[in-house]
Amino acid sequence: MNKKQAKERIEYLQKTTQYHAKKYYDDDKPEISDFEYDMLMVELRNLEKEYPEYSSKDSLTKKVGGHVKEGFKKVEHEVPLQSLQDVFSFKEVKEFDERVSKQAIENDIELNYVVETKIDGLSAALEYKDGILVRGATRGNGLVGEDITENLKTIKTIPQKLKDKINITVRGEVFISKADFEKMNQEREENEEELFANARNAAAGSLRQLDSEITAKRPLDIYIFNVQKIEGKEFESHFEELNYLEEQGFNVNPVRIYCNNIKEVLNAINKIGEDREKLTFGIDGAVVKVDNLKFREILGTTSKVPKWATAYKYPPEKKQTKLKDIICNVGRTGVITPMAILEPVKVAGSTISKTTLHNEDFIKDKNLKIGDTVVIQKAGDVIPEIVEVVKEKRDGTEIEFNMPEYCPVCGAKAVREEGEVAIRCTGIECPAKLYRNLVHFVSREAMNIDGLGENIIGQLLDKGLIKNIADIYTLTFEDIASLKKKGDKFAQNLIDSINASKNNELYRLITALGIRHVGVKAAKNLAKRYKTIENLQNASFESLSLIEDVGEIMANSIVEFFSENQTKDLIKKLKNSGVNTKVEEDDNTDNRFEGMTFVLTGSLEEYTRDEASDIIEKFGGKVSSSVSKKTTYLLAGEDAGSKLVKAEKLGTKIITEEEFKEMIK
């Protein structure tokens, strides 16, 4: 490589590592694996060492990645929260020991080490005054972090008060356990939410929430691994420090091995590597630290890393196995997900026999066929994944896989809409989707059946009292009363609510059916246009496409939905149960708001947002969710926010609730 090539490569690597560091530290959405990022950093470090003239003070080899997120207060760290120098071989660990040993001999100091697990989480500093937790912050760029005190206080393993009344700042790693991480991702998959890439990013994203109530719902934990600063107390060794922290009530890193020499250090790294699958938390390496604290001061630090520690990173373990079959599972929202059935193989300490293939595009991108020999690894040491196909091992017996045209659970048509990767079951009575469909059907914006919440729906399903949506209307007083001790009052209230829902307006029923892309606004337009559920069932794609706010995608979704036998069966059952399926003729000819567009903001005293919207629409007006030049009135209640500011800028007429009441007299 000549100088020109070196300069170009260094500039490329500096730019690329900055980009991926931002995705990892700031956005909590990495696009490449930790190992791939580490390899880029190793190459950059080596090139900058060979060509120092092309190095830069902004290179991530010189500083810690990460910035303060907008919305958080800045915290200046009295003692910098530095990164660690990563190494990837025992040869590099020995070279670290040689450098440290040389200075130990020169200073006549006995050299000992502590080897700890490198926890895969988000680093944080906790500050205590007189033994009381007063502030917590993220690492940020090492010098300035984010004030996340309220979020950290939601973590049960962080003591609010210490045993001793001391002034101390400690550093720890916030993480999510392997079991909790798998549970979180499973729930997100069922809810069709984007999966967390790994446990570290799940923890980071949870901890850096502007709303601490969201953080409180996440299963965060912490292990403390260092004293940053302490007043009125001195320690000789790091090991002694950790024991003291444990006595104070801190949750200290449970894996810490005292070593007398480099041989014991290497044995400890091997031991942690062998046992890593048994750990309840994820790790991405082992940290080797000098134990003597005064010797640490002699060794010093660079601008980015301490010279008294190094981090050994374990390489991802890969194994080959056979892809025996591909089956499809149906989630609660109807997404059909392909699953690889593998010849069992042990990877990173656990036996892998199946793994998700995500979607149709993933299978095509990997060029997977049933019968292939594939390479398996664990992503983030938790989730097993297929890395690639070993094409040279193909013998012609492999079978192409195609996603099913019909739902494997209920037989309804399976569709993939334009611009989406997911294939979905369209059957409204599909057993796999039933719980989610029921929850939506009874929700406030749909049929609004008060008292029929998620817990009650779960009990009714478990007891076999409902097997489809229409069964809600066949529930008896005795059925409901049996769910609770002394449940007579509850049962009567729920029966009354169910009966009342039969008289709902047609748009509520259309909303409740859960037709993909059809929300409340579209449902109102459809009810207004077609008047009856039968007319909507028979509507053509062409006529639907001409309706305001109904585009081609929504029109196609409606046609597909009503073409299913399951839909026809449900509508018939609902009609037989007495549920209203038509628009009641309204004698009102008062269109005083015709041609006007209203936007609602803040809290109203006498009306809910839905009630106010219904009144506006009854008088021929429209309700929009955002302020624009076309907005006629902004109806502003208490605690009006950004919409009020925008309306003032645009000169939009702003009315109070009292003025609105005058307008509708």
**d(Cα 179, Cα 130) in Å, to the nearest integer?**
36
Q: Buried b / exposed e across 269-283, counting CB within 10 Å, b at 16+? A: beebbeebeebebbb
531 carries an active-site annotation: no
Q: Which residues pair with 653 in a beta bridge?
A: 633
Q: Which of 80, 85, 84, 92 shows the shortest CA–CA distance to 141? A: 80
Q: Which residues pair with 127 in a beta bridge?
A: 135, 169
- Per-residue tokens: 598: 């209203």
Q: Buried b / exposed e across 11-29, counting CB within 10 Å, b at 16+? A: eebbeebeebbebbbbebe
| 431 backbone dihedrals φ, ψ, rounded to 5° | -55, -35
Asked if residue 475 lies in contact with residue 499, where contact means CB atoms within 8 angstroms, the answer is no
**d(Cα 506, Cα 524) in Å, to the nearest integer?**
8
Identify the burial level of 64 via C-beta atoms within 10 angstroms of its C-beta, where 0-12 means exposed, 13-18 middle and 19 or more buried: buried
**d(Cα 418, Cα 282) in Å, to the nearest integer?**
38
Give the three-class secondary structure for 622: strand
Instruction: Output DSSP code: residue 17.
Output: H
Q: CA separation (Å) from 285 to 61, 119, 336, 391?
A: 19, 8, 36, 32
Q: Which of 423, 450, 453 shows the shortest CA–CA distance to 435? A: 453
Asked if residue 569 lies in contact with residue 576, where contact means CB atoms within 8 angstroms, the answer is no
Q: Catalytic pick from 49, 118, 229, 433?
A: 118
Task: Name residue, tokens 């005064």.
Answer: 294
Q: Which of 174, 167, 316 shows the shortest CA–CA distance to 229? A: 167
Catalytically active residues are: 118
